Structure 1
């Protein structure tokens, strides 16, 4: 139940600059050590937050109507260094953000990469990626 509460809090604040370990601990009312233990199976709390931010950015980039600059979208989610964002995105999705954006431009539909998922992707992530 604590993990679910923490995940809901994180999900609601992915684009907030105030999202940090201390804030999560205070909201969930657990120690830092307990929070880290809760997220062990997710690869750690920081990894979980980054992964969810990247997923949100990916869904924005897959929207052909949203043509904001990739760097602006990344910055909105806390990626202030373009090289850090580019490396993290490519590591998680095995394609660059620019490649995803170009695939959306070319046929109006994103290359969902259903066959290529991050190793930590779970059932919920897989379900979210299925075409509507």
Structure 2
């Protein structure tokens, strides 16, 4: 499919796809007329990029992951570097999971409270203040 069709299917702009191509992360084949032609493989790559962006990885980190996927072989140094990277990301994901679990609980409490006609402003303000206490990393 062409860039416009692909952009519509994945719900992003053609400019974003061109940027990913410029970075070397998502490089579609070209037709004889030099038009981009996206395939199912490109769709899988886009989904990886999208998921890792949602997980909070930078584009440079995502590029690193894609290069790991496409590497022919992995030597000991590469394995050690990858292990450090993945271990760090895993710890970050666990921390984010804990944060979002607390946030989910608090927003459920807020939603329930907001449906009551007896909710006072101070009770709501207290719950909103609790949002600032969710992240253990902020001093």
Q: TM-score, normalized by length of structure 1?
A: 0.30
Whichever of the two has the greater Rg, that structure is 2
Higher helix content, 1 or 2: 2
Q: TM-score, normalized by length of structure 2?
A: 0.29
Higher RCO structure (Cα 8 Å, ≥6 apart)? 1
